[in-house]
Structure 1
Amino acid sequence: MFSSSDIDKVAYFGHSADGTSHQRLIRDAVSILNDAILRCANEDARSEEVSQALRFLERHMTRPEHCTRLRQNLEIRDPVLRAMAARETLAALMRTLSPN
């Protein structure tokens, strides 16, 4: 979520951050997704926290389709296929976030 009163600040999980902590917010979002993927073979990992992390990353990525694909992966019925697909998509998502 973006704060309308301060264009350089980003509201994320109830906190505001300036540009200097932007990378930390990205790491936090990726960490939330990684935790969800570790659990997704055994439980439904689709939570509001995961949704917020995906929405945040979509706004800051050159390839937001990875977030869409990860949402779809978490809906796969077969737990083994769900975990495999989600891990592959997260790896692709992280590659797009990494500096070249």
Structure 2
Amino acid sequence: MSLTRTLIARPFSLTARTTTTRPFSLAARRMAEGDAGAPRSGGSAQGDAFTKREQASEDYYVRQQEKDKLAKLKQKIADQEAQLAKDREEAEGLTKKS
């Protein structure tokens, strides 16, 4: 066997052998109810003080976000109305000159 043939064939056979003999496993993570953010079931858990406080905090956050969004929209409307009034005055000025 020639030297070039040995060098070419050898790395391929080593690579093929090591990739096919490596073990591969993947452990699936299993979670029980209530683990790591899973929703709580009904019953006594719904009347829990922590659950009520958490719900109130989430509701407050949502209301604040909606309030901010509404304020931004109102400001945008006011800006657009001011621009519209300015454009109307300009249009009236042009029609009076004609």
TM-score class, shorter: under 0.3
TM-score by length of 2: 0.27
More helix by share: 2
TM-score by length of 1: 0.27
Structure with more contact order per residue of length (Cα contacts < 8 Å, sep ≥ 6): 1
Pair member with larger Rg: 2
